[in-house]
């Protein structure tokens, strides 16, 4: 494993306030004292960091109605817009440093996964044929593509990260949790804000928003954001920096309030990325069960190939294929809220599109082995959600309906080059010395997916007494998916390669790319439910317990399936069964010290049957990867969130999570590299008991901010010093844990110093990864079972400055 400098010992002091506050929260007298003055409460929520406004409650809409975060019987982290700006958490990838139970991995925008508590989406290549287990919502609109998570947050007021199943409250069923993003809304008072940041690596970021009335009943808001940064990896072949950032976003809103009981909001947004992305660097090699002549060292030596550096933190690569990550997302939504009868009727109608234009180097080397790998996609989605919310003295309820339709079209091209024959074919074969055998070999893939989902859902809160509330919820869901996959194969001269050809050259080509065609289909009804009991033991102390029986919709394999001995697709692998989920959770939310402190605790266990796992094939083009059902998976753990704000001059927080996420039974999993590639290697491996990929057992976020009164530029305000740190322990970076793909734990520190004057001015300088820790975001197993392991180094230390002003 790569050795990294680590600051684990630095974390010990952070455990002191956690232990102290645990003792304080357990003292009833102290809790009673803290309940004496609600008007002075500074309700920091689990996960809320230094930007919570002192003396103000944090209001969330997690249960589709406005209420304080401490009254919600859900494990929830809340991050405000000011904290997003000050900590540089301008997308989901950076947000995970503030929310320990959130995991985000990406090798490019399409191959991105957002998980909560270790579950949500399978780790590895994205397959369009399944659902994501973590729902992403922006102003109530469901975003079906995880690629949207790679964009900059635009004019965000607040982000709520909800842990655990949310299917009885949210339109799309989500088994792991939801990310609920609320943007700033149009106002009838004129206001505006602007922000400019510059830093090293040619970092530039600009944001602006303006809002105000167009008439007595009509208001508008428009926001824009642009981010650019030089890449962090230098490509010696193309003389370019890769892994750059080049994002632009635009969001416009019109609010019409014809009456005091009716509001209609029309929203349009457009976001585009045009980065030089995405690549990786050499990390190490490991022995596989392939013959030595077919492992990386021998293959590279046979072609005189030497990587530019064997130290991944030199950040050098030599990828020779074109790299591109063109990514465009946008849409239009109409939101209607009407106070009718005893409640509020809400309608959200939305259309969204996604256009993905990638180019990759899939052999991970500077040799022309795979010269082209691209799977451009175009998606359109339509959603309609209706909800009726009623709040009463004893009974609250939400009743909703949701309709979703999605179409994705993909056109893939993969081609091999002049170095492929010697690298891919057995060196003992005469064909391995003939570059024309595989040079120009091309597979053209055509696929589409039609995905329809309909649901009725609801949740009731019955206040049996002033202390005890029972909250049942239910959902009935129908899903239907129809797909098509075709792969045609052509030799370098353009002639088709079919399974009917039996000459040695054609057989060699078919071992790399095999034609395939099938049309999978899946449909199913599901019923799910949950029950939560909430008990207010005292003012400022809420306990809750939840059981949820839910599901994750079945799906279809859209990237190809295994074949039988005759080369025919195994249609039994074309569909994937739904996940069956049993979720148990208990939690405690407390306030003390006159509301100046909070301590929240959650204990959970989730059992999943027929877990949808990603299975990877080791060859270059026979199969990129497909999904299969693992028998049983379990994730369980404990989460603690502490925040204190003794005065307007100081605040601090510590959030921690222990997560034990494992395959309980997976007897036919893909084998790790060290057990693959040989003629006698097992076809499958039993990885029962192994940890799920991407999940750290321990994850922490912690920070503090202190300020003193000061004046600058003739304005009264504060000079402040802020620190935000995070730590995560090691995790596996392969679907089947391998001795070669464990990523060591690491900690990161971000520091900022500045001056703020209310909402009018904020000027600060910042350093991120202040101690320049070397760490790896993700490791990748090279194709072909050669033993090559590449990786993506995390960002080095960066620094810069930001100025924000409002009016």
Q: Is residue 356 part of a domain?
A: yes
pLDDT of residue 124: 66
Name the residue with tokens 């230098």: 234
Query: What pTM was estimated for this model as a whole?
Result: 0.88
pLDDT of residue 617: 52
Q: Is residue 2 part of a domain?
A: no
Query: DSSP of 549-585, one letter per residue?
Result: EEEE--EE--S---B-TTS-B-GGGSEEPPEEEEEEE
pLDDT of residue 289: 94
Could you tell me the residue range of the domain that residue 297 belongs to? 8-806
Instruction: Answer with the residue of higher pLDDT: 361 or 626.
Output: 361
Nearest CA-CA partner of 404 in 800, 629, 135 = 135
Between 126-140, 224-238, 339-353, the lowest mean confidence (pLDDT) is in 126-140
CA angle, residues 431, 433, 437, in degrees to nearest 5: 50
Q: Which of 62-66, 173-177, 799-803 has the highest mean pLDDT?
A: 799-803
Beta strand 343-359 with 370-374: parallel, antiparallel or unpaired?
A: unpaired
Cβ contact 211:177 at 8 Å: no
pLDDT of residue 110: 79
Q: Is the pLDDT of residue 213 over 60?
A: yes
Confidence of residue 668 (pLDDT cuts 50, 70, 90): confident
The set of residues, in sequence order, having a beta carbon less than 8 Å from that of 478 and lying 6+ positions away, is: 453, 454, 455, 523, 524, 525, 526
Count of the separate structural domains present in the chain: 1
CATH number for position 422: 2.40.170.20
Rounded mean pLDDT of 424-430?
90
Q: What are the backbone angles phi and psi of residue 92, rounded to the nearest 5°?
A: -65, -35
Q: Please report, rounded to a whole number, the percentage of residues in the chain having pLDDT higher than 90.
A: 67
Q: Is residue 3 part of a domain?
A: no
Q: Is the pLDDT of residue 699 over 90?
A: yes
Q: Is the pLDDT of residue 614 over 80?
A: no
Q: Is residue 1 part of a domain?
A: no
Task: Write down the mean pLDDT value for the chain.
Answer: 87
Q: What gap in Å lies between CA 792 and CA 351, rounded to an integer?
A: 34
Q: Is the pLDDT of residue 447 over 50?
A: yes
Confidence of residue 125 (pLDDT cuts 50, 70, 90): low
The set of residues, in sequence order, having a beta carbon less than 8 Å from that of 470 and lying 6+ positions away, is: 461, 462, 464, 531, 532, 533, 534
pLDDT of residue 616: 60
Rounded mean pLDDT of 116-131?
81
pLDDT of residue 64: 67
Nearest CA-CA partner of 516 in 601, 653, 615, 626 = 626
Q: Is residue 328 part of a domain?
A: yes
pLDDT of residue 15: 35
Rounded mean pLDDT of 104-115?
81
Q: Is the pLDDT of residue 4 over 70?
A: no
Nearest CA-CA partner of 755 in 719, 800, 804 = 719
Q: Please report, rounded to a whole number, the percentage of residues in the chain having pLDDT higher than 70.
A: 90
Between 332-336, 548-552, 565-569, 696-700, the lowest mean confidence (pLDDT) is in 565-569
Q: Is residue 423 part of a domain?
A: yes
Instruction: Answer with the residue of higher pLDDT: 124 or 486.
Output: 486
Nearest CA-CA partner of 776 in 733, 739, 726 = 733
Q: Cα–Cα distances in Å, from 83 out to 146, 158, 225, 460, 595?
A: 23, 9, 17, 33, 21
Q: Is 755 helix (H, G, I), strand (E, B) or coil?
A: strand
pLDDT of residue 241: 96
């Amino acid at each position: 494993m790569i050795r990294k400098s680590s600051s684990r010992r630095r974390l010990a002091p952070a455990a002191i306030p956690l232990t102290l506050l645990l003792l304080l929260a357990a003292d009833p007298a102290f809790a009673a004292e803290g309940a004496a003055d609600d008007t002075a409460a500074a309700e920091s929520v689990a996960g809320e960091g230094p930007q919570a406004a002192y003396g103000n409650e944090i209001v969330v809409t997690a249960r589709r109605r406005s209420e304080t975060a401490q009254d919600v019987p859900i494990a929830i982290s809340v991050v405000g817009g000011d904290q997003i700006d000050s900590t540089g958490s301008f997308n989901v990838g950076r947000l995970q440093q503030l929310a320990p139970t959130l995991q985000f991995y990406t090798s490019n925008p399409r191959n991105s996964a957002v998980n909560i508590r270790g579950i949500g989406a399978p780790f590895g290549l994205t397959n369009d044929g399944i659902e994501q287990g973590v729902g992403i919502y922006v102003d109530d609109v469901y975003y079906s593509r995880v690629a949207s998570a790679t964009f900059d947050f635009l004019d965000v007021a607040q982000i709520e990260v909800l842990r655990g199943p949310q299917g009885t409250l949210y339109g799309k069923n989500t088994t792991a949790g939801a990310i609920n993003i609320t943007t700033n809304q149009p106002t009838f008072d004129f206001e505006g804000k602007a922000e400019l940041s510059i830093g090293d690596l040619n970092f530039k970021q600009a944001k602006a928003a303006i809002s105000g009335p167009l008439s007595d009943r009509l208001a508008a808001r428009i926001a824009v954001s642009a981010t650019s940064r030089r890449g962090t990896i230098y490509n010696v072949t193309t003389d370019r920096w890769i892994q750059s950032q080049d994002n632009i976003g635009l969001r416009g809103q019109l609010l019409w309030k014809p009456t005091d009981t009716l509001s209609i909001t029309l929203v349009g947004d457009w976001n585009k990325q045009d980065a030089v992305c995405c690549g990786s660097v050499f990390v190490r090699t490991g022995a596989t069960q392939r013959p030595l002549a077919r492992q990386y060292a021998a293959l590279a030596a046979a072609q005189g190939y030497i990587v530019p550096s064997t130290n991944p933190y030199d950040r050098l690569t030599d990828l020779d294929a074109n790299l591109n990550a063109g990514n465009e997302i946008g849409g239009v939504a109409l939101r209607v809220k009407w106070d009718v009868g005893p409640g509020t009727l809400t309608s959200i109608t939305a259309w969204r599109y996604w256009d993905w234009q990638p180019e990759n180097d899939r052999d991970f080397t500077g040799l022309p082995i795979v010269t082209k790998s691209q799977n451009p996609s175009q998606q359109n989605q339509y959603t309609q959600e209706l909800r009726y919310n009623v709040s009463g003295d004893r009974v609250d309820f939400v009743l909703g309906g949701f309709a979703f339709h999605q179409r994705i079209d993909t056109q893939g091209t993969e081609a091999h080059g002049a170095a492929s024959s010697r690298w891919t074919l057995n060196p003992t074969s005469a064909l391995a010395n003939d570059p024309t055998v595989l040079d120009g070999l091309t597979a053209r893939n055509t696929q589409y997916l039609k995905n329809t989902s309909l649901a009725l859902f609801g949740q009731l809160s019955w206040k049996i007494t002033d202390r005890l509330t029972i909250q049942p919820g239910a959902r009935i869901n129908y899903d239907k998916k129809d797909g098509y996959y075709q792969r045609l194969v052509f030799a370098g001269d353009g002639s088709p390669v079919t399974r009917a050809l039996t000459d040695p050259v054609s057989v060699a080509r078919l071992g790399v790319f095999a034609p395939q065609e099938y049309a999978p289909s899946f449909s199913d009804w599901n019923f799910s439910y949950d029950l939560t009991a909430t008990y207010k033991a005292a003012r400022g102390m809420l306990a809750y317990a939840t059981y949820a029986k839910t599901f994750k919709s079945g799906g279809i394999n859209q990237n190809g399936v295994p074949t039988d001995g005759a080369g025919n697709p195994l249609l039994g692998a074309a569909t994937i069964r739904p996940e069956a989920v049993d979720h148990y959770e208990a939690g405690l939310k407390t306030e003390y010290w006159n509301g100046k402190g909070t301590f929240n605790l959650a204990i959970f266990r989730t059992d999943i049957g027929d877990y949808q796992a990603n299975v990877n094939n080791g060859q270059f083009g026979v199969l990129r990867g497909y999904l299969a059902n693992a028998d049983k998976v379990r994730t369980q753990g404990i989460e603690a969130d502490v925040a204190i704000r003794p005065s307007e001059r100081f605040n601090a927080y510590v959030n921690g999570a222990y997560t034990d996420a494992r395959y309980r039974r997976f007897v036919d999993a893909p084998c790790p590299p060290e057990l693959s590639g040989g003629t006698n290697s097992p076809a499958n491996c039993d990885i029962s008991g192994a940890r799920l990929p991407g999940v750290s057992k321990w994850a922490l976020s912690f920070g503090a901010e202190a300020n003193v009164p000061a004046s600058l530029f003739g304005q009264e305000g504060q000079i402040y010093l802020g620190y935000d740190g995070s730590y995560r322990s090691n995790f596996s970076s392969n679907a089947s844990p391998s001795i070669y793909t464990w990523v060591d734990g690491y900690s990161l520190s971000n520091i900022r110093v500045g001056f703020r004057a209310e909402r009018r001015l904020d000027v600060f300088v910042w350093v991120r990864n202040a101690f320049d820790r070397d760490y790896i975001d993700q490791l990748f197993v090279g194709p072909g079972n050669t033993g090559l392991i590449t990786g993506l180094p995390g960002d080095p230390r960066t620094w810069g400055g930001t100025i924000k002003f409002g009016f």
